[in-house]
Structure 1
Amino acid sequence: MDGYDFTFSGATLRALPQGALYWPCEGVLVVSDLHLGKSERIARRGGSLLPPYETIETLRRLDTVIEGCGPKTVICLGDSFDDLAAGQDLPREICEWLLRLQAGRRWVWIEGNHDPGPLALGGSHLAELTIATLIFRHIAVPSATHEVSGHYHPKARLTLRGRHIARPCFVVDENRLILPAFGAYTGGMDCTDPVIAGLFRPKALALLTGPQVRALPLAKLG
């Protein structure tokens, strides 16, 4: 599957245009912040109504990426559900879809701040996971190294051919890698915001998603 290959903590990884991370040597696919059930959660709490299709769109994209990579392991890097109730109230057809995606492979749900509890779905539920040199968790720990996380939904804002655009992006330096949100309707935080940029060293890169992954120095986006 097409993407941008780079080395992080001794592992050759591939940032995919859809916003997923693939580790070919280990057969590991990583996605973060699916936020399944977001429109239902907003409606339940009396917010504005959104078209109730974000879960279907997110799973359709995930299905396509899994089919393209054929991973042995899928890691969902936290906030897979918009809250615990959203995870418990998924329609039957969505639960069956998830079970089909899980079939024949290891599936790990990393706990996020939106979905801290166990869910009655397949797979294992962990606070964090270490594979070889890499540690996978939801929220970055400032002192950590070899860390892959999500949570912040980073986006890069730039001007391209006279148009102002924002694209979800990976952010990476020698110590940590933060993934973009994979889910539909997830919004995002500017990757130059001090909350994100402050976690990275000066030579960090932003890997912009889209038709083709584009690598830009984080410092030049500010």
Structure 2
Amino acid sequence: MNAALRQSLSRRPCGGLNVQVAGEPCVLRCSGAMWLPARRVLIAADLHLEKGSAFAARGQMLPPYDSRATLDRLAGEIAELDPAVVVLLGDSFHDTRALARMAEDDRRRLDVLAEGRTWLWLEGNHDRDALNRSKAQDVGLPGMVIGDLSLGDLRLTHEPEPRTDQDARFGEVAGHLHPAARVAAYGSGVWRPCFVTDGSRIVLPAFGAFTGGLNVRDPVVAGLFAAPPMAAALGRDRVHALDWKVLR
């Protein structure tokens, strides 16, 4: 963990972690969402709504209630923070047919959550067709479907760009990879979703209830950073800043 990033860390009363990404004050929330307090912007990645019903349709016995659990978590964040803007960083729906499978109560709940605020759907690789079809067929999703979004020095996108010597991707805020950290604890390994950042760019954990994770030590994640980053793992009531050396 670099010295500048370490100095920016502090604990929030809610258990979240204060950091700076590209100089922007951010709060890494226990839910896996990121909060920009100065802008009143709430950011979440990879909800994968209706993943459970997609598996159930293929005969896999996964309870099809993930959308409700994910929306419950998102509703809790909105109730506590009252954001002016909600940005979902892509793969908000699990597949092209997810909207058709969604229970009407869950679909209406999106309208309630979006009421009175700007609601932005970034296109992801899983849900690009679903979001574009919803616009073409006037399904009535709240908010707007967009590509990337710039907020000051931050650039919000779905999939992180590969690191190059010429471009450190300063200010990138991305999802897609579902980062997770493994640490040794209590005589065994503990596996938790996590944020991963070097203070210049950040990858958010998946927000969805039924989403898996990719080890931050995998080259796909680790290779995004020129020097070892920090993993910020989601605990029950706090976000834990983990030095790269303790990860397995």
After the TM superposition, which residues 105-184 of structure 1 pair with which residues of structure 2 at under 5 Å, given as runs?
105-117=117-129, 118=132, 119=134, 120=139, 121-143=141-163, 144-184=169-209
Taking only aligned residues, the RMSD between alpha carbons, in angstroms, comes to 1.3
Q: What secondary structure is seen at the aligned counterpart in 1 of 2:97?
A: helix
Q: Can you give the 5+ residue segments of structure 2 that lack an aligned partner in the other structure? A: 1-13, 164-168
Q: State whether residues 191 and 197 of structure 1, in contact with CA within 8 Å, keep that contact through their aligned partners in structure 2.
A: yes
Query: Following the alignment from structure 1 to structure 2, what is the Cα–Cα distance between the partners of residues 75 and 167?
Result: 23
Q: Secondary structure at the match of 2:128?
A: coil
* Partner in structure 2 of residue 95 of structure 1: 107
d(CA) in 1 for partners of 2:155, 2:210: 27
**Where does residue 211 of structure 2 map in the other structure?**
186
In 2, the alpha carbon distance for the partners of 1:55 and 1:180 equals 17
Distance 1:220 1:162 in 2: 14
Q: CA deviation at 1:139?
A: 0.3
Which residue matches 2:38?
Answer: 25
CA contact (8 A) 1:202 1:219 kept: no
Alpha-carbon deviations, 1:105-126, whole Å to 9, x = none? 0000000010013233011101
SS for the counterpart of 1:19 is coil
Provide the residue aligned with 1:50 in structure 2: 62
How far residue 174 of structure 1 moved from its aligned partner, in angstroms, is 3.3
One-letter amino acid of the counterpart of residue 213, structure 1: V
Residue 37 of structure 1 corresponds to 50
How many angstroms does 1:165 deviate by? 1.1
Offset, 1:191: 0.8
Q: What residue identity is the alignment partner of 2:215?
A: D
Matches within 5 A, 1:194-213: 194-210=219-235, 211-213=237-239
Tell me by how many angstroms 1:43 deviates.
Answer: 2.6
Distance in 2 of aligned mates of 1:113 and 1:11 = 27
Alpha-carbon deviation of 1:161?
Answer: 2.6
For residue 84 of structure 1, give the secondary structure of its aligned residue in structure 2.
coil
The 2-side partners of 1:160 and 1:69 are apart by 33
Q: Distance in 1 between matches of 2:88 and 2:155?
A: 13
Distance 2:44 2:99 in 1: 17
- Cα shift readout 1:64-88 (whole Å, capped 9, x = no counterpart): 1111111100001110000121023
Counterpart residue type for residue 144 of structure 2: S
> Aligned to 2:49, what secondary structure does the other structure show?
coil
**C-alpha separation in 1, matches of 2:117 and 2:206:** 22
- After TM superposition, the score normalised by the length of structure 2 is 0.85
1:188-213 Cα distance to aligned partner (Å, 9 max, x none): 11111111011113241000111211
For 1:147 and 1:3, the matched residues in 2 are separated by 20
Contact 1:170-1:208 at 8 Å conserved across structures? yes
Match of 2:18 in 1: 5
The structure number with the bigger radius of gyration is 2
**Structure 1 residues not aligned, in runs of 5+:** none
2:244 is equivalent to residue 218 of structure 1: yes
Q: CA deviation at 1:219?
A: 4.2
Q: Is residue 2:98 matched to residue 1:73? A: no
Checking the alignment, whether the CA contact within 8 Å between 2:178 and 2:214 is kept in structure 1 is yes
